[in-house]
Structure 1
Amino acid sequence: MRDTIDIGIDLGTTNSAVAEAKGASAEVVRNAQNLEFTQSAVYVSRTGSVLVGQKAGARVVSDPDNACAEFKLRMGRRDQDKVFEASGRTLSPEEMSAEVLKSLRLDVQRRTGEPIETAVITVPAAFTADQTAATSRAAELAGLRAAPLLQEPTAAVWAYTADVEAPDKGFWLVYDFGGGTFDAAVVKIEDGEFTVVNHAGDNSLGGKRIDWAIVEDYLLPRLQQDHGLTDVTVDDPRYRGVLAQLKRLAEAAKVELSQQERVEIEAEIRVDAGRDVEFYCELTRDDLADIARPLVASSIRLCRQSLSESGIPTTAFERLLLVGGSSQLALVREMLADPADGLGIPLDFSLDPMTVVARGAAIYAATQRIPREVRAAAPAAPGRAQLNLEYSAAGLDPDPLLGGRVQADGVADWTGGTVEIRNTTTMPPWTTGAVALRQDGSFSVRLRAPEIATHSFTVTVHDPAGTELATDQASLTFQRKSGGMGGAPTMSHSLGVGLIDNTVAPLVRRNTELPSTGRLNGLRTTQAVDRRSGAGLLRIPILSGEHARADRNTVVGQLVVRSDDIERDLPLGTEVEVVVRVDSSFGIQAEAYIPFLDAEFEIDVDLVRTVLPDLADLRAARAALDARYHDLRSQGDQIRASEALARLDRLDADGILEEIDRLLRQSEADPDATATCQARLLDADSALDEVDELLELPKIVEEGREAQGIANEVVAEAGNGRYTDELRRAEAELEDAIAEGNRTVIERRTNEVRSIAIRVFEDNGQLPLIRFAALESELDGDPRREVQRLLGDGRSAVAAGDLNRLTGVNARLDRFVDRSGGGSSTPSILGDGLLGSGGGQ
């Protein structure tokens, strides 16, 4: 068995590639057609046999009922299974991706002559938790017993640092424009090691978006005009076949235009049964530039976002690495090189953008030992001693540490036994000499790897009697590198707990190094759970995303504790602790601990996305977005809110609303456009949330000032020094929140100021009077007879000074107050407590 994994796979949206580590570098493994990459397409015959690659891709147009491509972005969704009509087989996106992985694995086995049980698989840096989990499931379905995941930009840096000497210190920017996704990653290099310190990305910004833009803006209008086919439109499901043919032509033309100035497009288009038309047009590089410019501009905005978040100026960057097939477009390189409209960072495309990720994954794989569980599963030769070795397979250290333990049947005490490690690469061979084993068979030693090379070591073990033992691992390798060692992977998307005020308490933030553990203490329930009545519910949602509002993020895990799940009642205000753990391949585990019960609950992390909305729902959401946009602009104009209006202008300039309309049209023909449209609607709503905050902020600040005034008056009248000190602290926190401009925190601090005044009223017995005054103001015009009767009773109690009676009236009136509207339907957690379904405070 190999000592290190060595195999790297770039599982792409359009094409996939596999490479094998060779020394400090890597070689792409060609497929049976002698191509360096395999099209990510699957065809299922009527007998149920599966065909993968270019031949399958050709059938996506000619036989779409039995072929499928570009399914990578649908992994992790519940509703994206493909039914292959001829055979009746149904495959999920994970199962189709597994077929691609099987094909690549077979290519490697054909080349090496050995079974491949482990491989490193790359994922976009912007992939969500459910998409990375789905990639791991696909690897398992493909028969890979272990498949560490590596982010694509990181893989590219591994490739670029393999054959060239990286700077001792500096910054690189990775620009990864693939077939289906875009990633921008800021890479810091220091002392020969590199780390991704920030990234931004878009899971739906890729070359296929350019293909669809070519279809809608250029090819389809020509087809309509030249043949009078005005009824053939993007949003008419009857002509999905026509659009699939045009999309295929667009993709081929785009690739050709990366090498030449113009291309002739000529094909026979089947419009419907019995009707074919001859289609011809010419597409130039300038035409393509006009079509693709908005999408390339979006990728540059994401680069700038990543630079802005990291706080590093463009002048600090030594090079910009071009990765992915779409980065080969002349327009991309022209726009990036422009210091005004682009980035002005020197471009580096010395490695093939189509295969650089697979090469980098293999180079990284050569630094990763085959996992112990895979080794342990291999059949052991009888009579051999077992060697459990701990060491790094690669590094910068010329004296790497090796630790281990020898185990063998019949040997309980290894005192007197020895181990010797020899470096057979150096001349003359270097040796540790006989190193004494401890009683339990363990040992530790420093190796010698003086040259920058892959060093081979032999391991010889003698038992306490001096007899040499055959072992299950007689050799090992260590790759001494001069630089280019990558740091820990980083978190793609933040994880947190949803709070009842619709904010998020962070657990693990984006860009945190992995593995990582996030912990939240001091959360408290906002609803009691009663075992006898069955009333109450505790619900804890784990959210993924960067949106400030909890309901804009994705629920990836949820704990629900009902009355029959606990051994005793759970009082209001019970403390809860939440812990989440993320491993180096982005796997998530979460749990909650309730000290009052001394009980731990596993949080169900369900990394499968919900069913996509239908087009009618998306169109309704688009109409609601439009109405909200115009309402906010009207408000901004009325109060001359310059910052809010500037945000709306930025939304216009970015063209998000026009993009949503385009995606709605494309959704009839492209399944991925539906998911992208949903994501863009969420982005637009989040942008409008910020505008809403800016418009509401002055009102919220004014309410805070009013609360301060009332509280100061009440506390001064009470003359209680304890309340005076408490109010001063609360006022200082309110002022800090106002200075930060955080609406949610301002509201929370305002409520804390009000609560001080309320407690003063409680102390002096005035709270029932205050409460009744508020209810009377709200319900005075209510036509219901019972309401008016209760108001009369309350006034009578006030006149009589009967506060006990007034308290009862208040409780009955409170039932008539309309509490509908507002708030999120998302189950969430209060700022310092948890909320179950059914409301709370």
Structure 2
Amino acid sequence: MARDNIDFGIDLGTTTSIIAVATAADATVIRNNRQAEHTPSAVYVSRSNKVLVGQPAKDRVEEDPDNACAEFKLSMGKLDERKQFAASGRTMSPVELSAEVLKSLRGDVQQALGENIGAAVITVPAAFELDQCDATRRAAAMAGLEFAPLIQEPSAAAWAYSTHLATEKGFWLVYDFGGGTFDAAVVKVADGEFSTINHAGDNFLGGKLIDWGLVESLLIPAVRKEFPLPDLARGHRRSAGNVAKLKAAAEYAKIELSRSDTAEINLRLNDADGSPAFDFEFELTRADVERVALPLYRRSITLCRKALADTGLGAGDVERVLLVGGTTIAPALRELLADPADGLGIPLDHSLDPVTVVARGAAVFAGTQRLPARPERAERALSEGRVVLDLQYPSSGSDLEPLMGGLPPRAAERRDWTGATIEFVHTDGTPPWRSGQIPLTADGTFATRLRAGERTVSTYDIELRDPHGTLVPTDPERVSYRHTSRQGTAPTLSHSIGVGLDDNEVRWLVRKGAELPAKARAILYSTVTVRRNESTGMIRVPIVEGERSKADRNMLIGQLDLTPAQVGRDVPAGSEVEIEVRIDESFAPRADAYVPLLDEDFEIQVELGRTGSGTDLRGAAEDLADRFDELAQRLTAVQLAGVDAVEAVDLAEGFRTDDVPGEVRRLADAADVDPDAASTGENRLRDAQTTLDDLEAALVFPELAAEGRAILRDTRELVAESGSARHRTALHNAERTMSAAIASGDRTVLRRQVEVVREIIREVLEDTGQLTAVIFLAREEHLRGDPDPRVQQLLQQGRQALDAGDAARLTAVNGQLEKVAPGVVGHVDPVGGLGSTVRASDR
């Protein structure tokens, strides 16, 4: 059948994928050739290079892991990631593997409906980054889906629920706990529209972590205890087959335990040589699963609370939680979510199947999206003697009488349409309806209103008649309109886009949550001179994606390097560089730079796709632990000084509880044979580094307050012994202002008052003749081990002058020491972590 709208929606999942088609008022899941609603996201390649997708491939992941692959969704966007299939010698990227799954789903449509589709809406996690979205688009094109708009999974779920819920105004929270990712999205419903106004998510938090937790904490220890398999481990290459069997068994048992209290695991495991040898039996209980899953559930709840808090909402403001994803079937999770103290305390809605709801919602949305016009279709219609109509009308909406308009039509020969009419006929309407014959203008334009059925799709046959009343064949022959009680608004940006600056900070241009399409512009300034004739200097503008305050903690998605060979004249430091970023409705970015001095535009190369970081996870875990220990010591010093540091304490306690260094070490052990473990470890590492950045920032004010109190204490003693009335008055005023600054958290005033107190110390020492001695003693302490004989000779002379009370001679020695061994000045790197050579403003 010919379709006006896309109509098909695909949930391309980490563990399973589903395709659905829009119906009159809802959507229907299309079953595969095994009559299952979902297809495992798994691929197998045989020795003869035959590709199997779905359940046959998933079964082989356990038996033949060298030639089968699953859970590759989280590697989307990685340019250097490839799975090698040993028997055939073939290698495939995550994009190619995903394309095979999409081809399989297209084949299911062909078998079920007889349609060879070339367009579908595809879902992506709300937390997906731009390169992962781009990889999904490329997989779609590779699979023959030439037109594949993307929709975020929580938004798709909201589309599905919108066809069933009667809410007129309020908020929903979409809780989407899938196989590989977690998303929490806040949806606002008002005036017949719903929109996602905020989200929080984790691309590495999913049900598969529960599976791995069961394998590593229960099943592997049990196998080792019973059988001679001491090397059995997730990261041991020769154990891959046994580990794959244990993980599959854990997944099946976990699902069964959503309905029962115990599940039996019975497996035939291989010996060290790979031959079947051991019969493993294990009784897994619901309590086992809950113990492993509880920390993950709590992590998801923290993200939900963050999404709500960032929107200024509380539990009482949200009407319902929409449950999405297979993990939400677990009774313990539902009980926890409903708990007002430990969970969310918001009513749960699981009226739709959480496993298929995303695909169904994507299809409902697809039913509102018109297929793009195809020029070749119009040319073919003209060659067949048809008149090509240019109709302007909404594909969907809440209006029961949508406006239909026509622009000048195209025909093989130029025509005068005076006296011609057009009529729209809805024969399936209740009752059947005709628009009546609408006269066309001389150039063929017209406008009218149609009558649509409520909450269904209305299809109208088109009857174009020439001035003699003769029917004229048209393209299209019919059009359709979907009436909906609610419409979703524009998609929103998942992660902020900005420019990395020379101090490693970020100038954010388009913030997370912005409606798409979006664009923003900023004026920056170069920090280096680009000299054309001397071939020196370079203007570097890094474009980053993320939310972290430090530029190099975010994802680098593009970079401009403006070199001497690209400029027609010298560009001095401080020159303006105007940056513009644009993101379209399908999350595709573009960035440009304009240099007014050159009056020239430069496209910033946006290369969506990441390469392996080469991070030594084990070493990084140790560095992380060492850095935390140093920060913890600084926090202890602040607390001993009696300074309040609530934020820093909370961050430190959270870091200890999460034990990220330990988690990264465990993932590093598995990363040698499990690319997913490496990706998860790198993500957790970046998050932990950001947490420590936040902890260090949270210590700045408390440490400054502790320094202020310490210097006040020393200054009081000095002024009491040697100060004048003027010094006592100045100290009293500084102490009062400093106390107020500490109480109000005013860092600027506090820092200024610390310097004021230092100046009081200097004045007292100078007035009492002690300043020269203090300066010498500080130099003596610093230079005691200096190997330069001149330095040691001057120190000896200074000590003699100090002992003799010869102030003039001591002053002369200080001056000579400053020349021979000047004070050490800390090196400051002129560029930030990404090598940026632009700054936000003149300074």
Q: Secondary structure at the match of 1:77?
A: coil
Contact map agreement 2:438 2:446 (CA 8 A) in 1 = no
Q: Secondary structure at the match of 2:134?
A: helix
Q: Secondary structure at the match of 2:381?
A: coil
Distance change in 2, residues 1:787/1:414 (3 Å): farther
Question: How far 1:113 sits from its partner (Å)?
Answer: 1.2
Contact map agreement 1:581 1:590 (CA 8 A) in 2 = yes
The residue type equivalent to 2:6 in the other structure is I
Contact map agreement 2:551 2:833 (CA 8 A) in 1 = no
Partner Cα distance (2:550, 2:107) in 1:
46
Q: Secondary structure at the match of 1:372?
A: coil
Between stretches 227-236 and 320-329, larger displacement belongs to 227-236
2:402 corresponds in structure 1 to 400
Question: How far 1:739 sits from its partner (Å)?
Answer: 11
Contact map agreement 2:235 2:674 (CA 8 A) in 1 = no
Partner Cα distance (1:61, 1:18) in 2:
25
State whether structure 2 residue 831 is matched by structure 1 residue 828.
Answer: no
Partner Cα distance (1:620, 1:315) in 2:
46
Question: How far 1:72 sits from its partner (Å)?
Answer: 0.7
Partner Cα distance (1:74, 1:313) in 2:
35
Q: Secondary structure at the match of 1:344?
A: coil
5 Å-filtered alignment, 1:12-23, equals 12-23=13-24
Question: How far 1:613 sits from its partner (Å)?
Answer: 2.6
The residue type equivalent to 1:675 in the other structure is S
Distance change in 2, residues 1:783/1:443 (3 Å): farther
Partner Cα distance (2:675, 2:565) in 1:
42
Partner Cα distance (1:518, 1:375) in 2:
36
The residue type equivalent to 1:697 in the other structure is F
1:122 corresponds in structure 2 to 123
State whether structure 2 residue 670 is matched by structure 1 residue 662.
Answer: no
Question: How far 1:500 sits from its partner (Å)?
Answer: 1.4
Partner Cα distance (2:579, 2:746) in 1:
25
Distance change in 2, residues 1:607/1:784 (3 Å): farther
State whether structure 2 residue 500 is matched by structure 1 residue 498.
Answer: yes
Q: Secondary structure at the match of 2:475?
A: coil
The residue type equivalent to 2:840 in the other structure is D
Partner Cα distance (2:599, 2:830) in 1:
36
Question: TM (normalized to structure 1)?
Answer: 0.84
2:226 corresponds in structure 1 to 226
Distance change in 2, residues 1:417/1:99 (3 Å): farther
Question: How far 1:296 sits from its partner (Å)?
Answer: 1.1
Distance change in 2, residues 1:543/1:783 (3 Å): farther
1:713 corresponds in structure 2 to none
Q: Secondary structure at the match of 2:44?
A: strand
Question: How far 1:387 sits from its partner (Å)?
Answer: 1.8
The residue type equivalent to 1:206 in the other structure is G
Contact map agreement 1:423 1:448 (CA 8 A) in 2 = no
1:549 corresponds in structure 2 to 550
Question: How far 1:413 sits from its partner (Å)?
Answer: 6.7
State whether structure 2 residue 483 is matched by structure 1 residue 480.
Answer: yes
2:682 corresponds in structure 1 to 678
Partner Cα distance (2:51, 2:14) in 1:
18
Which stretches in structure 2 are left out of the alignment for 5+ residues?
710-740, 756-774, 793-817
Partner Cα distance (1:432, 1:629) in 2:
77
State whether structure 2 residue 418 is matched by structure 1 residue 416.
Answer: yes
Distance change in 2, residues 1:452/1:290 (3 Å): closer
Question: TM (normalized to structure 2)?
Answer: 0.83
2:629 corresponds in structure 1 to 630
Contact map agreement 1:243 1:669 (CA 8 A) in 2 = no
1:469 corresponds in structure 2 to 472
1:510 corresponds in structure 2 to 512
Distance change in 2, residues 1:201/1:536 (3 Å): same
Larger radius of gyration between Structure 1 and Structure 2 = 2
Contact map agreement 1:176 1:322 (CA 8 A) in 2 = yes
State whether structure 2 residue 429 is matched by structure 1 residue 448.
Answer: no
2:360 corresponds in structure 1 to 359
Q: Deviations over 1:487-524 (max 9, x none)?
A: 11111100001111221111111111111112113x11
Partner Cα distance (2:702, 2:839) in 1:
23
Q: Deviations over 1:655-714 (max 9, x none)?
A: 434433332333344321111111111111111111111222356799999xxxxxxxxx
Between stretches 473-482 and 542-551, larger displacement belongs to 473-482
Q: Secondary structure at the match of 2:604?
A: strand
Question: How far 1:278 sits from its partner (Å)?
Answer: 1.1
Q: Secondary structure at the match of 2:319?
A: strand
State whether structure 2 residue 621 is matched by structure 1 residue 619.
Answer: no
1:177 corresponds in structure 2 to 177
Partner Cα distance (2:227, 2:68) in 1:
29
Question: How far 1:438 sits from its partner (Å)?
Answer: 6.1
2:722 corresponds in structure 1 to none
1:757 corresponds in structure 2 to none
Contact map agreement 1:31 1:37 (CA 8 A) in 2 = yes
5 Å-filtered alignment, 1:21-420, equals 21-162=22-163, 164-273=164-273, 274=275, 276-373=277-374, 376=377, 379-380=380-381, 382=383, 383-409=385-411, 411-412=413-414, 414=416, 416=418, 418-420=420-422
Distance change in 2, residues 1:378/1:77 (3 Å): farther
Q: Secondary structure at the match of 1:272?
A: coil
Between stretches 266-275 and 72-81, larger displacement belongs to 266-275
Partner Cα distance (1:539, 1:738) in 2:
40
2:652 corresponds in structure 1 to 648
5 Å-filtered alignment, 1:416-815, equals 416=418, 418-424=420-426, 425=429, 427-431=431-435, 433-437=437-441, 439=443, 441-449=444-452, 451-462=454-465, 468-483=471-486, 485-521=487-523, 523-613=524-614, 617-640=616-639, 642-643=645-646, 644-697=648-701
Distance change in 2, residues 1:581/1:466 (3 Å): farther
Contact map agreement 2:235 2:670 (CA 8 A) in 1 = yes
Partner Cα distance (2:701, 2:454) in 1:
63
Question: How far 1:583 sits from its partner (Å)?
Answer: 1.0
Q: Deviations over 1:735-759 (max 9, x none)?
A: xx9999798xx79x99xx9xxxxxx
Partner Cα distance (1:742, 1:68) in 2:
56
Aligned pair count reads 755
- Cα RMSD (Å): 3.5
Which stretches in structure 1 are left out of the alignment for 5+ residues?
706-736, 754-772, 789-808, 835-840
Distance change in 2, residues 1:562/1:508 (3 Å): same
Distance change in 2, residues 1:338/1:573 (3 Å): same
Question: How far 1:211 sits from its partner (Å)?
Answer: 0.5
Q: Secondary structure at the match of 2:282?
A: strand
Partner Cα distance (1:784, 1:528) in 2:
39
Q: Deviations over 1:592-642 (max 9, x none)?
A: 11122111111111110121435xx11111100000101001011112152
Between stretches 151-160 and 668-677, larger displacement belongs to 668-677
Partner Cα distance (1:618, 1:828) in 2:
26
Contact map agreement 1:79 1:612 (CA 8 A) in 2 = no
Partner Cα distance (1:310, 1:3) in 2:
38
Q: Deviations over 1:514-572 (max 9, x none)?
A: 11112113x11111111111111011111000001111111101111111112222122
1:819 corresponds in structure 2 to 827
Partner Cα distance (1:589, 1:174) in 2:
30
Q: Secondary structure at the match of 1:199?
A: strand
Partner Cα distance (1:822, 1:684) in 2:
26
Partner Cα distance (1:818, 1:642) in 2:
28
Distance change in 2, residues 1:40/1:234 (3 Å): closer
Contact map agreement 2:507 2:840 (CA 8 A) in 1 = no
Contact map agreement 2:43 2:57 (CA 8 A) in 1 = yes
Contact map agreement 1:417 1:463 (CA 8 A) in 2 = yes
The residue type equivalent to 1:824 in the other structure is G
Distance change in 2, residues 1:688/1:438 (3 Å): farther
Distance change in 2, residues 1:422/1:505 (3 Å): same
Question: How far 1:819 sits from its partner (Å)?
Answer: 2.7
Q: Secondary structure at the match of 1:653?
A: helix
